Amino acid sequence: MSTDVKTDASAEAQAERRINMIEAINEALDIMLERDDDVIVMGEDVGYFGGVFRCTAGLQEKHGKTRVFDTPISECGIIGVAVGMGAYGLRPVPEIQFADYIYPGLDQLISEAARLRYRSATEYIAPMTVRSPFGGGIFGGQTHSQSPESIFTHVSGLKTVIPSTPYDAKGLLISCIEDNDPVIFFEPKRIYNGPFSGFYDKPVEPWKKHKDSVVPEGYYKIPLGKARTVQEGEALTVLAYGTMVHVAEAVCREKGVDADILDLRTLVPLDIEAIEASVKKTGRCLIVHEATRTSGFGSELSALVTERCFYHLEAPVERVTGFDTPYPHSLEWAYFPGPVRIGEAIDKILKD
Amino acid sequence: MADAADNPSPKGDNRPALALHVPEPKSRPGDPVDFSELDIPEAGSQPRPDEGAKPEDMKDLAYGLVRVLGDDNKAHGPWDPKLDPETLRTMLGHMALTRAFDERMFRGQRQGKTSFYMKCTGEEATSISAAMALASDDMVFPSYRQQGILIARGYPLIEMINQIYSNKGDKLKGRQLPIMYSSREHSFFSISGNLATQTPQAVGWAMASAIKGDSRIAATWVGEGSTAEGDFHSACTFATVYNAPVILNVINNQWAISSFSGFAGSERTTFAARALGYGLAGLRVDGNDALACFAAQQWAANRARANQGPTLIEYFTYRAEGHSTSDDPSGYRSAQEREEWPLGDPVMRLKNHLIAIGEWDEERQEKMDLEAAELVKKTTKEAEKNGILGHGLHHPFHTMFEDVFEELPWHLKEQAEQATRERITKFGSERPDA
């Protein structure tokens, strides 16, 4: 009977099926494990247990423990063996449990994975995707909240990708896994279960109520290097990624600002055309990220916008970011670049 | 006498003051050397366990020294790999060629033909004999001092020299520092300047081979100094956890640039003994004994191939020359060390063995050395037609931007155009050889 029901409703269910970001990531991994025998998923607690965030739940049971397995607690080892697996011809998808713990693997990422194609003149490549939950807003304190993306965007040879919706998470992750370059795939853990408005005292909506949680079953890809237009507007351009896309969107909605919001999705390679087109249209630009300010990715964005859109700018480019401190625990909402900070920046940009 | 009781802690209580031990080598420049404390067992005295032996049942081998070639230049004991004379002569030929190559390239650097070079003098057996014990498609993850592997695997000398000269024939397109070779065709992994990074990579490659049900194994080489890197610990841990078909070769040549092996921990234990803590098989081998080097690698290869697990081999040897062309060892160690090193020279020992078994003579050796020198000289001249470093015959400017990614992203395209513009401004042409 249940089979019949499924069949009857399949077309509609397919169109309206809504899942959260964890389920979307799980599906992407499942599909790629199915499609490509060379895909290997590994990391701390990802195997039998299915991951501390459940992103790999059920995958070991389905694909076997030589395809999906637990590793020793050694980020250097996880990334290092992934480089070796890539040299063999596999397509490893290692997980680093928190982006805050990726640092022991940095030498392997920066000196090895990122440089391998270049230094061997394509004899060897590192077609790996390092997945890692990142970002704050969850009372994670200093070592469960960081946003280290600018460490990676500064490295020649690495791509950095950050989804902000279940639909994007699945399509982008599939693209990353199929990409022949090493990719850092940061998953904003604050929005694993639902988009976050930044108004932390209001109840959080689950993904089920958001249009971008409608995710097709099966295989699809979202190209790397292409930004997503979250909403079109004329008053100013907002450049954001990850959790901050939703926070910026909510603030603009609250304030009734007609913003052109771009979700960058890929930081390297960056969709410079979309950025230029938007800023040249609006003449004003706000950059928002959770990461600390100094030498953050916002600095790069600000410089690019200034260099390429200078004669179209009607106000200085503003950056709303985390403060230049380690991520605090008790003062999380004072640190987080939330609605007040974003609102003030918008007022300042629009005043000129 | 710094007795604890005589030396109370300045912190105010009766506890004895602590004292930091900073290792110091036994001899410095100008000092006489004394190697009498080295425990060098008789050739042939070490047992050869079954290749499936449990690590805990072969502990003595991690503290001993597997030796085959005795003072009489004959092969002794159960580790004798019983190689036929033709194989031994081939091995000796690879060593002669490697030595001739090192000599010429070192001179080339001094003549300004390239920026940098590193010899492997005294360590030839640890790469050549070991490589000969592997199958040609077993994957090797070397450090920078295993040029002997490339020579043993028949990698064209001209490719090596082109790479050293960073010229237009360099298949790495002048991107890499001299001697950082790469040859996928020869199952030789791209060498990195970052020490020990290749060790977990070798383990990962071996894991991949096992995941795929392949029959190929991996081997990696790392200096004793680099075993102090965290990567080496990761490699040992992953190797043991997944029973990876990998061989971890540690070349203990006593020196990491100016730091003697004590700074990597050799004062308290052997490097082979580290294997035991990980549950790896550990072998300690006379690294200047070509037959012992071959036998140990063969033992470990058989073990890995039979899914019996990884092996850590310490090759006890001596870095006879400076660390690199940028190094002067007379600034930190006694010159007599090399002269009095009790394990001798690997090339001489193999040569003497072949003579002792009636398969070689001084005349043929002399001819072989001469031919090796001639071959290197001839190939060098040929390579120089492709250019030497800094003389303009390099790859075109735009190649600098290629292969950072599979495809050129917009920002690299812009920078490539900039470099081309700068070239035209400076030389009036885009072409490097115009």
Per-residue pLDDT of chain A (352 residues; tens, 9 = 90+): 344 444 444 555 556 899 999 999 999 999 999 999 999 999 999 999 999 999 999 999 999 999 999 999 999 999 999 999 999 999 999 999 999 999 999 999 999 999 999 999 999 999 999 999 999 999 999 999 999 999 999 999 999 999 999 999 999 999 999 999 999 999 999 999 999 999 998 888 999 999 999 999 999 999 999 999 999 999 999 999 999 999 999 999 999 999 999 999 999 999 999 999 999 999 999 999 999 999 999 999 999 999 999 999 999 999 999 999 999 999 999 999 999 999 999 999 999 7
Confidence (pLDDT) at A11: 52
- Counting residues of chain B whose pLDDT is more than 70, the rounded percentage is 96
| Residues of chain B found within 8 Å of residue A157, distances taken between Cβ atoms | 404-405
| Residues of chain B found within 8 Å of residue A121, distances taken between Cβ atoms | 171-173, 175, 182, 403
Residue A10 is encoded by which pair of tokens? 């399949």
Of A53, A284, A307, A39, give the one whose Cα is nearest residue A189. A53
Does residue B396 carry a pLDDT above 90?
no
**B238 contacts A74? CB cut-off 8 A:** yes
- CB-CB contact of B266 with B333 (8 Å): no
Q: Is A314 among the residues known to form the active site?
A: no
Reduce the DSSP state of residue B289 to 3 states and report it.
coil
Q: Is A205 among the residues known to form the active site?
A: no
* Given A144, A210, A246, A289, the catalytic residue: A144
Q: In one letter, which amino acid is B170?
A: D
- Compute the average pLDDT of residues B1-18: 69
Does residue B248 carry a pLDDT above 60?
yes
Confidence (pLDDT) at A10: 54
Confidence (pLDDT) at A16: 80
Supply the DSSP string of B17-67, one letter for each residue.
Answer: PP-------S--TT-----TTS--PPTT-S----TT--GGGGTHHHHS-B-
Q: How far is CA A116 from CA A142, B149, B378, in A?
A: 32, 21, 32
Structural Rg of chain A based on CA atoms:
20
* Given A27, A75, A290, A318, the catalytic residue: A75
Nearest CA in chain A to B400: A118
- Counting residues of chain B whose pLDDT is more than 90, the rounded percentage is 91
CA distance A67 to B272: 32
- Report, in this order, helix, strand and coil percent for chain B, each rounded to 5: 40, 10, 50
Confidence (pLDDT) at B9: 66
> Quick one: DSSP state of residue B192?
-
Residue A162 is encoded by which pair of tokens? 């950050």
| Residues of chain A found within 8 Å of residue B208, distances taken between Cβ atoms | 40, 84-85, 88-90
**B211 contacts A80? CB cut-off 8 A:** no
- Tell me the average pLDDT of chain B: 95
For chain A, the straight-line distance linking the first and the last C-alpha, in angstroms and rounded, comes to 65
The sheet carrying A285-292 orders its strands as A228-231, A259-263, A236-240, A285-292, A318-322
| Residues of chain A found within 8 Å of residue B211, distances taken between Cβ atoms | 40, 66-67, 85, 90
**A104 contacts B200? CB cut-off 8 A:** no
Which helix H or strand E contains B218, and what residues bound it? strand B218-223
Nearest CA in chain A to B137: A88
Kindly report the pTM of this predicted structure.
0.96
| Residues of chain B found within 8 Å of residue A85, distances taken between Cβ atoms | 204-205, 207-208, 211
Of A98, A109, A185, A118, give the one whose Cα is nearest residue A154. A109
**Which residues are bridge partners to A238 per DSSP?**
A261, A286
- Compute the average pLDDT of residues B80-97: 98
CA distance A120 to B317: 30
Residue A101 is encoded by which pair of tokens? 């713990």
Confidence (pLDDT) at A7: 47
Q: How far is A343 from chain B (nearest CA, A)?
A: 32
CA distance A70 to A52: 12
CA distance A223 to A66: 29
Cβ-based contacts under 8 A for chains A and B: 148
Confidence (pLDDT) at B393: 82
- Residue B327's pLDDT band (boundaries 50, 70, 90)? very high
Confidence (pLDDT) at A349: 98
Does residue B22 carry a pLDDT above 80?
yes
Of B57, B98, B60, B49, give the one whose Cα is nearest residue B290. B98
B414: number of CA atoms within 13 Å, CB side? 6
Of A6, A129, A34, give the one whose Cα is nearest residue A79. A129
pLDDT tens column, B259-311: 999 999 999 999 999 999 999 999 999 999 999 999 999 999 999 999 999 99
Confidence (pLDDT) at A12: 52
> Quick one: DSSP state of residue B126?
H
Nearest CA in chain B to A65: B211
CA distance B141 to B120: 16
Q: How far is CA B39 from CA A46, B63, B65, B384, in A?
A: 48, 10, 8, 47
Q: In one letter, which amino acid is B294?
A: F
Of A138, A140, A175, give the one whose Cα is nearest residue A265. A175
Does residue B208 carry a pLDDT above 60?
yes
Q: How far is B398 from chain A (nearest CA, A)?
A: 13
- CB-CB contact of B274 with B249 (8 Å): no
| Residues of chain B found within 8 Å of residue A119, distances taken between Cβ atoms | 172, 175-176, 180, 182, 190, 192
Q: Please, what is the Cα angle at A181 between A176 and A187, to 5 degrees?
A: 35
pLDDT tens column, B107-143: 999 999 999 999 999 999 999 999 999 999 999 999 9
Instruction: Report the residue of B234, B243, B247, B307 to disrupt the A interface, i.e. the one with the largest count of A CBs within 10 Å.
Output: B234
CA distance B346 to B123: 7
**φ, ψ (nearest 5 deg) of residue B6:** -75, -10
Does residue B2 carry a pLDDT above 70?
no
Q: How far is B434 from chain A (nearest CA, A)?
A: 24
Of A230, A237, A225, give the one whose Cα is nearest residue A277. A237
Confidence (pLDDT) at A14: 53
CA distance B31 to B29: 6
Supply the DSSP string of B131-162, one letter for each residue.
Answer: HHHS-TTSEEE--TT-HHHHHHTT--HHHHHH
**A87 contacts B403? CB cut-off 8 A:** no
Confidence (pLDDT) at B432: 57
Q: In one letter, which amino acid is A140?
A: G
Among the partner-chain residues A74, A122, A272, the one whose CB lies closest to the CB of B234 is A74
CA distance A332 to B2: 54
- Compute the average pLDDT of residues B141-155: 98
Which of A15-19, B328-332, B387-391 is predicted least confidently? A15-19
Of A74, A92, A73, A72, give the one whose Cα is nearest residue A82. A92
CA distance B310 to B299: 11
Of B301, B196, B302, give the one whose Cα is nearest residue B250. B196
Q: How far is A121 from chain B (nearest CA, A)?
A: 5
Residue B380 is encoded by which pair of tokens? 């060098």
Q: How far is A47 from chain B (nearest CA, A)?
A: 14
**B410 contacts A119? CB cut-off 8 A:** no
Does residue B203 carry a pLDDT above 70?
yes
Confidence (pLDDT) at B392: 79
| Residues of chain A found within 8 Å of residue B231, distances taken between Cβ atoms | 76-77, 80, 107-108
